[in-house]
Amino acid sequence: MLHIIPLGGLGEIGLNSLVVACRGEMLLIDAGLMFPSEGMPGVDIIIPDFTHLKQNAAQLKGVVLTHGHEDHLGALPYLLNEVPVPVYGTRFTLAMARHRLNELGLEADLREIEPREPFSVGSHFKVEASRVTHTVPDAVGYIVRTPEGTVIHTGDFKLDPDPIDGLRTDLERWGEAGEQGVLCLLSDSTNSELTEETGSERVVEETFERLFRGATGRIVVALFSSNLHRVRHLLSLCERLGRKVALQGRSMIRNVEMARELGYLDVPDSLFIHLDTVSQLAPHRVLVLTTGAQGEPRAGLSQLASGDGPVRLDPGDLVVLSSRPIPGNERSVGALIDQLQWRGAKVAYAQLEPGVHVSGHASRPQQRRVLDLVKPRHFIPVHGEGRHLHRHLATAREAGMEPAQCLLAQDGDVVSFEAGRGRFSGSVPSGRILKDRFGSGVVTPDTLQERVKLSETGMVAAVVVLQRDNQKLVAGPQLSGQGLNLDEQVLLPRVAQEARSIFEELSPQLRGDDALVREELTRAVRRAFKLYTARRPLVVPMVVRV
C-alpha cells in the first residue's frame, strides 16, 4: 500500500507539507510555513501540525525540498528539532534552508542533489528531482518511484518557454514517467482560477527596459528578495544603463550575497553602492532595490514612502512595485502607493502597468498541459485554498479523467493506493500551529479569542482587597482600563462607585472562594457599565487577600 497524506497546503496557500508513505517508511515533501492573516494578532508564523510525523518518527526517512520559499521550507526547523532526518534539496534551496536553520541555532544533515540524478531515501523511495521554472533559482518537482507505483509532485511551477536562467520545466522527464505509468500526480493549484497563460518573465524584462529608458530620476524597484531571476535582470540592466545599485532590506542584502556566493549572480562589486551614499550620486545614476512591495509596514518601501530611511524620494523619481498584492494585502499596498504618489514619485504598479510582474505559477491551460502530458492514474490537486483545488479538479475532469481518478483531498486526509486504485482511507492529526512573535509560545484558539476580544472592547482590570479572616471588603473595586473609548474613560470612576455598591451586596460568607469572588466582581463591573453604555469591555477580575 502507498499512502499520500497532505499535512498542509490543501486548503490554504502555504504550509506545504505532504507525506508519501510506503511499507513502513515515510518521505516528506516540503515543510512549509504560512504567515498569519487578519484575526491572528501577535502571531508570527503558522506551521503545520507535525504530530503524525512525531508519532511515527522512526518511519520518517527524509525530507525533500522543492524550492527555497518559506511556504515550502520555513517549518523545517520546527520539524527537525523533534525529528532529525536528512534533508534533500538543490544547492540554492539548501542554502535557504541552512540560513533558516542557523537563524534558530540549528544544524541539520543537508544533502545536495541534482535534477535528473536519482537518489534513494529509505529502502523504498527512489527519488528524482525535475527542474521547474519558478520565481526562485533551483526549483524542482519530484518523481518518487516506490514499489507500489510512481508519484509526481510538481512543486510550485510555471511553464515559461524562455525563462531568464534558460532552465525550463522538465516536461520531458514528466512525459517519460507518464509513459511508464504514473500512479498519482500532485500538481500546483495556486493559479487554477486564471484562464490566461501565465506570462513569460521576458515580459517583465521588456517592461523594465522601457520604464528604465524613460526614467530621468532615481529608480526604486521593490520585489520579493528571493526572486533572483528578476534581480539578475535588474542588475544587468543597471550595468548596461550605467546606474549603481543600492540594496535595501535585510533579506535583499542577504539573498543577493548568497546568490553571488553560489554563482547565481555574476556582477562586479563596483556595481553596488551603500544605501547611505545614494544621495551623493546624480539621481539618474542610481537604482534602489528594496523589499516591501506587499506593503509590509517596516520594510524598505514603507520607509521610502514615509521618508524615514536614508533615501528621500524627489518628485520625478520612479518607483516600481514589481509584484501583485497577495490577497489580503490590497489595502496596505494601495495605501503605500498613495503615500509614494503624494510624495511626488511616479509609481508603476501592476494595476496600471501589468508588465511589472508575472506570476510564478502555472495557470489553468498550463495545468491542463501537465495533466495531458503525464496522464496519471490519479490526480490530487495540491497547493491551494479550497476553490483553487476545486477548480483544478474540474480541469482534470475536462481533461477526461474519471471522477474516481480525481481525489479532492484536504489536510490530514489519508489517500491509500492498493492494486493501482486510490481511495480515502482515514485521517491523521493535522491543523495549524500558531507561533507567537518573539518566542516559541503557541497561541491557542482560546488565546486568540481573548486577544480579539481585548482589541475590540478594550479591557478593565478590577481589583478588590478582602480581609483574610473575616472576608471584609478592605478596598475596591478599583478599576484600571486600557483600550477604552473616550466616553468610557470618563465614566470609569462612576462605574467603579456603582460596582462597589453592587459588589458590597455580596454577603461575606460567599467571599471565601476566590473563583466565586472574581465571578461576582466581573458581574458587578459589567452591571455598573450597563447603567451607562451598551458596550462591555472585557473585565479582568483580581482578588487580593490581606
Site for a second copy in 173-212 (CB under 8 A): 193
The residues assigned a catalytic role are: 188, 361
Cβ partners under 8 Å of residue 281, min gap 6: 244, 273
Q: Does 298 bind a second copy (CB under 8 A)?
A: no
Long-range contacts of range 534-539, CB-CB < 8 Å, 24 or more positions apart?
535/457, 535/485, 535/488, 536/457, 537/457, 537/458, 537/459, 537/460, 537/481, 537/483, 537/484, 537/488, 538/450, 538/453, 538/454, 538/457, 538/458, 538/459, 538/460, 539/459, 539/460, 539/461, 539/462
**Adjacent-strand bridge partners of 48:** 432
C-alpha dihedral sign at 430, 435, 441, 444: negative
Closer residue to a second copy in complex, CB, 281/542: 542
| Burial (Cβ within 10 Å: 0-12, 13-18, ≥19) of residue 408 | middle
CA distances from 134 to 117, 154, 184 (A): 20, 11, 22
All three cell numbers of 168, joined, read 525550463
Site track for a second copy across 485-524, x = CB under 8 A: xxxx------------------------------------
- Looking at 114-122, 183-191, 308-316, 529-537, which segment touches a second copy (CB under 8 A)? 529-537
Q: Does 167 bind a second copy (CB under 8 A)?
A: no
Site track for a second copy across 348-387, x = CB under 8 A: ---xx--------------------------------xxx
Site track for a second copy across 114-153, x = CB under 8 A: ----------------------------------------
Q: Which residue has the cell 487578519?
A: 38
Coil, helix or strand at residue 445: helix
Subset of residues 9 to 28 that bind a second copy, contact rule: CB under 8 A: 11
Q: Does 478 bind a second copy (CB under 8 A)?
A: yes
Task: Single out the residue of 404, 474, 510, 516 in contact with a second copy (rule: CB under 8 A).
Answer: 474
d(CA 213, CA 145): 50
Q: Does 397 bind a second copy (CB under 8 A)?
A: no
**Cis bond upstream, residue 477 (ω within 30):** yes
Q: Does 337 bind a second copy (CB under 8 A)?
A: yes
Q: Does 282 bind a second copy (CB under 8 A)?
A: no
Subset of residues 430 to 459 that bind a second copy, contact rule: CB under 8 A: 436-444, 447, 450-452, 454-459
Q: How far is the CB of 461 from a second copy (least distance, A)?
A: 4
Q: How far is the CB of 125 from a second copy (least distance, A)?
A: 32
Q: How far is the CB of 98 from a second copy (least distance, A)?
A: 23
Task: Single out the residue of 57, 475, 510, 516 in contact with a second copy (rule: CB under 8 A).
Answer: 475
